[in-house]
Amino acid sequence: MKLFARPKNLAETMAPVITLNRLMGLHAFEYPRGQPRPMLSLIYLLFLYCLYYSGSMYLEDNYYSNVNLLKLEHLLYKPLETIVIYLIFVKLLLGWWYTKKFETCCRKIFEIDETLRQLGSAINYDKIYFIIIGVMIVWFVVHLSVCIMVFIEVRMQTDVYITIGTTVVYFYELAVNFIIIFEFNIFVRCLQMKFELINKLLHESLSALSTKKLKLGFFEMKDYAKIMNIERQICSIPMKILPYCRQKQLRREFRNRSQRHNFVMTEGQKHMYLLQIIKQVHLELCKVLKTICIIFGIQIACELGITIIFLTVSLYNLYIRYIGQQIMTYNLMQRTVIIILISVLDILKITFLSRVCKDAADEGNKTVEIIYSIYGCDIESYMQEEIQQFGIQILQSPVRFSAYGISLDNQVFTKMLEILTTYLVIMIQMFYKSLTYELWKIEHKSIVEK
C-alpha cells in the first residue's frame, strides 16, 4: 500500500502503526504476507529487550552515581526505573501474545464494514488514516526534542557514549508506551464511528416508522432493492456476523417466501429484517470492544499506574527544589523544563484517552434511547418484540471501556488527581520529618561536642 493511497479497510488504515509495532517488537512478523512467524518474532523481541535491559541497568547505575540526590529521592527514582524496565518486557510480551486476537479483531471489523456497506452506510477511513500520519509525525518531533534535551542534560554528567545510550534507551521506552496508547485510541475511535452509523440507520428507521410512508427516507424501494432483494441480495449480505442457526433460518424463510407467488415485503417486515441485522452488528461490535479491552487492558492499566507515580515523583522533586530550598548540583532549570514537558505530555495523553473512550461509550449506549423511541411507536407486535430484545441485549451488555477493571471515562483523571494528591502530601510530610530529624542530629551532635 502506498503511503498516501486511500485505505480500504482498518488493516490498511493502521498499516503505519502496525509496521512501527513490529519494529519495536510488539507484534509478530508476517513473511510472506499472511503467514505469521511467532518464534522468529519472539527471538527478535527478546533480543531488543536484552539490549534495552542491559543498557538501562548500566546507564542507570552510571547516571545516578554522578548525581547528588536526597535519600528519599534515591528510594523513589531507582525503584521507579526498575519497575518501568520490567513493565516494558510485560508490554512487549503481551503485544506478541495477543497478535492473533488483534488480527481476529481486524477481520471481524472488516466483516462488519461489509455488512454496513450493504446496508448503505460505509465508513470512510481517509480521515483516520491522515490523522494517524499527522499524529505520528508530531509525536516523533516532540519526543525527539525531549530526547535532545535529555541528551544535553546527561552529557553534563557522563561521557558521550553513555549519553547516546541513555538517549536511545529513553526514546525506545517512550516509543513503546506511545504506540500502545495510540493503537488503543484508534480502535476506540473506529468503534465510535461504527456506532454512529448504526444510530444513523436506526434514526432513519424511526423516521420512516413515524411517518408511515414507504417511499420516504432510507426505505425507498429503489434503495431497499440494493439491501435485501430476497434472492439476489441474500448472498451479498455478509451473513458471517450472524449465528449459524440464524443464517439457516433467514435463508429458509427467504426461500419459502420467494417460492410462493411474487412476494413483496411489507414495510414492517423490512424494518424488522434490518433491525435484526443491526442488532447482530451491535452485538459483534460489543464483542470486539471486550476483546480490545482484554488485549490492551493490562498495558493501559500499567501505563496509568506509571503515569501517577511519575507525576507524583516529579511534583515532589519540583517542590523540594523550589519550596523546600534543597540545592541541586546540576542544571535545575533544564531539568525543570524536561519534567514539566513530560508531565504535560502524560496529562494530555491520559485526558485524550479518557475523552475518546467516554465519547465512544456514550455513542454506543445512545442506541438504547433510539430503540425505546422506536418501541413507543404504534407498530406490529412482532416488531415490538424484536425491539424489546434489542434493548435488553444492550442493557445486559452496555458499552464500556475498561483497563483491567479500571473504567476509562472522564473520572479517570479525577481519580488520578486524588491519588496523586494523597501520595504527594505523604511524601512532603516524610520530607519535613526527615529534615527535622537531620537538624536534630546536627544540633545533638554539636551539644555533645561541647
Highest mean pLDDT among 77-86, 276-285, 289-298: 289-298
Domain ranges of the chain: 10-228+265-413
> φ, ψ for residue 75 (rounded to 5)?
-70, -20
Average pLDDT of the chain, as a whole number: 77
| 3-class DSSP assignment, residue 402 | strand
What's the pLDDT band for 240 if we cut at 50, 70, 90? low
Length in residues, the chain = 450
pLDDT of residue 296: 93
Q: How many CA atoms does the CB half-sphere of 379 hold within 13 Å?
A: 29
pLDDT of residue 182: 92
The sign one gets for the Cα dihedral 426, 429, 433, 439 is positive
| CA gap 132, 138 in Å, rounded | 10
Contact 143, 171 (CB under 8 A): yes
pTM of model > 0.85 = no
Q: How many CA atoms does the CB half-sphere of 218 hold within 13 Å?
A: 19
Query: pLDDT by residue (tens digit) across 393-415?
Result: 888 888 899 888 888 888 888 88
What's the pLDDT band for 213 if we cut at 50, 70, 90? very low
> φ, ψ for residue 403 (rounded to 5)?
-130, 95
279: pLDDT strictly greater than 90: no
The sign one gets for the Cα dihedral 161, 162, 167, 170 is positive
Query: pLDDT by residue (tens digit) across 348-369?
Result: 888 889 999 999 999 998 888 8
Q: Which of 22-26, 157-161, 236-240, 310-314 has the lowest mean pLDDT?
A: 236-240
What's the pLDDT band for 263 if we cut at 50, 70, 90? very low
